[in-house]
Amino acid sequence: MAGLELLSDQGYRVDGRRAGELRKIQARMGVFAQADGSAYIEQGNTKALAVVYGPHEIRGSRARALPDRALVNCQYSSATFSTGERKRRPHGDRKSCEMGLQLRQTFEAAILTQLHPRSQIDIYVQVLQADGGTYAACVNAATLAVLDAGIPMRDFVCACSAGFVDGTALADLSHVEEAAGGPQLALALLPASGQIALLEMDARLHEDHLERVLEAAAQAARDVHTLLDRVVRQHVREASILLGD
């Protein structure tokens, strides 16, 4: 392709990573004191905050209550200054609504909703800085926030994006790689069972290459799980120290 070369002849990307390498991930649980659960994550230059309230009584119309399980309510919002070009509105546009729906589907697959009938779990995700892989950062932050809130889950939900350039599958795309217009795959994985909570792809990709891209995304998601698990254990250890155990 013309213009920017996404993968050099030696196999390095624009920012110096190899094909299957993740960006630096840092995360923290318990960012806000007043929320039931909160978490903050940085994947490279993508920064996301997630906040969880609940389970609590249904807010708004009671007709939305489900008699056998909890209602998972998600809102995705990105700050107007989070992208290179300033956004007009933080939420309510088509992309935000779609992202909110995807997050809801993802977490309905993971949260044990049948334990809380006729109640509601709110998950609010806020993107502070966007540099590619936004959906993955939101899912990873929300997973940590749900765990921080103490809501029972079947498993972590670990997400990562993947792309395909010059016959090579790339993991954890940055904004430059996304803007180049090649195929992009977003995967949310329950790592213990290997089940997929959400799968989405755009642009064209030959079926022969799909397996490799999927495998690259799944491997990256498992790597993310290793890091998130470390963050959770660190948080639990600190909480135990504060409790005096």
Would you give the DSSP letter of residue 245?
A: -
Q: Which residues sit opposite 42 in a β-bridge?
A: 26, 47
119 binds another protein (CB under 8 A): no
Cβ(41)–Cβ(241) below 8 Å: no
Residue 200 to residues 98, 234, 243: CA-CA distances in angstroms?
12, 32, 42
From the list 34, 68, 193, 243, which residue makes contact with another protein (rule: CB under 8 A)? 34
Sign of the dihedral through C-alpha 52, 116, 229, 45:
negative
CB of 78 to another protein, least distance (A): 10
Total residues contacting another protein by CB under 8 A comes to: 36
Q: How many residues does the chain have?
A: 245
Cα 227 to its chain centre, rounded Å, is 14
**In the complex, what is the shortest distance from the CB of residue 241 to another protein, in angstroms, rounded to a whole number?**
18
Task: Quote the least distance from Cβ 242 to another protein, whole Å.
Answer: 17
What the block records as the tokens of 60 is 């708004």
From the list 23-31, 163-171, 209-217, 221-229, the region that binds another protein by CB under 8 A is 23-31
- Does an H or E element contain 104, and which? helix 94-108
- Per the structure block, which two tokens stand in for 126? 């806020």
Does position 32 interact with another protein (CB under 8 A)? The reply is yes
Looking at residues 59 to 88 of the shown chain, list those that interact with another protein (rule: CB under 8 A): 59, 73, 75, 77, 79-84, 86
Per CB under 8 A, 49 contacts another protein: yes
Kind plus residue range of the DSSP H or E element containing 195: strand 195-202
Told to check if 33 binds another protein by CB under 8 A, we report: yes
Residue of 6, 13, 25, 42 interacting with another protein (CB under 8 A) = 42
Instruction: Give whichever of 60 and 244 is closer to another protein, judged by the CB atom.
Output: 60
45 forms part of the interface with another protein (CB under 8 A): yes
In the complex, the smallest distance separating the C-beta of residue 35 from another protein, rounded to whole angstroms, is 7
For residue 67, cis peptide bond before it (omega within 30 degrees of 0): no
Q: For another protein, give the closer residue by CB, 84 or 244.
A: 84
Looking at 107, 109, 124, 139, which residue binds another protein (CB under 8 A)? 124
**Contact 170/216 with Cβ under 8 angstroms?**
yes
Query: What does the CA dihedral 60, 64, 65, 69 come to, rounded to 10 degrees?
Result: -130
Residues forming contacts to another protein in the complex (CB under 8 A) are 26, 28, 31-35, 38, 40, 42, 45, 47, 49, 51, 53, 59, 73, 75, 77, 79-84, 86, 90-92, 122, 124, 126, 128-131
